[in-house]
Chain A
Amino acid sequence: AAGVIQSPRHLIKEKRETATLKCYPIPRHDTVYWYQQGPGQDPQFLISFYEKMQSDKGSIPDRFSAQQFSDYHSELNMSSLELGDSALYFCASSSGTGEPGEQFFGPGTRLTVL
């Protein structure tokens, strides 16, 4: 079965650079969630999209922005990177219709800021 795809899997950037993380949800899933998991931390919700519109916002810095495109894939753009942005970034998808089900998580993108 198709799963959530994230790219790249690993990314190394320098301070003050920008990074773009991509997420491809499970086919026919219309909702995407982004989470950030710092070293030794639990995942923290950043932002979510439903039908290409931002549906909810969590602890996402102003330096970050995200969008969901017409094909439902989503991109998380991160600018002016800081050392503290080093983390695992997860994307998850779900279907907003029908019976409630679980959120499916991607494998994550490991961002390292040097």
Chain B
Amino acid sequence: SQELEQSPQSLIVQEGKNLTINCTSSKTLYGLYWYKQKYGEGLIFLMMLQKGGEEKSHEKITAKLDEKKQQSSLHITASQPSHAGIYLCGAGPTFNDYKLSFGAGTTVTVRA
């Protein structure tokens, strides 16, 4: 199975500040997925990265996959209260295999 480590486990940011979450794997990542989860609710897909060095952005969220495809970061610019939640990275064992293993998640709190 793909073991993913996320850091930090939790973080608190002031509204308007930037934040970064990291996801590291000991194995090559064939597909790296970022999800957001509100407490006790479903997973909302954010982005998927497949290629080394790939970077994607959606609104104020940017995700990158390093060249070695073993580490990904999720960066939020000018955080807002709507960004609060749990961010999970997930990865499949092979290309196009969506049997995902997830990191433990990063809980983000945004203070007004």
Contact = CB atoms under 8 A, between A and B. Distances in A.
Interface of A: 31, 33, 35, 42-45, 48, 56, 58, 88, 90, 92, 94, 100-108, 110
Contacts of B42: 90, 105-108
Given A42-B104, A110-B40, A100 B45 contact: no
29 contacts: A35-B100, A42-B88, A42-B102, A42-B105, A43-B43, A43-B88, A43-B90, A43-B102, A44-B102, A45-B99, A45-B100, A48-B99, A56-B99, A88-B40, A100-B31, A100-B95, A100-B96, A101-B48, A102-B33, A102-B48, A103-B45, A103-B98, A105-B42, A105-B43, A105-B44, A105-B45, A106-B42, A108-B41, A108-B42
A50 to B, nearest CB: 10
A71 to B, nearest CB: 21
B6 to A, nearest CB: 9
Interface residues of B, number: 23
Interface of B: 31, 33, 35, 40-45, 48, 50, 88, 90, 95-96, 98-105
Contacts of B31: 100
Contacts of A88: 40
Q: Report whether over half of chain A's contact residues are helix, strand or loop; otherwise say mixed.
A: strand
Contact of A33 (B44, B50, B98): B98
A33 B97 CA distance: 11
A104 B102 contact: no
Nearest to A31: B98
Contacts of B50: 100
Contact of B41 (A33, A45, A102, A107): A107
Contacts of A104: 45
List of 9 A-B pairs having minimum Cβ-Cβ separation, nearest first:
A107-B42, A42-B102, A105-B43, A103-B98, A100-B96, A102-B45, A94-B98, A108-B42, A102-B48
A105 B35 contact: yes
A30 B23 CA distance: 29
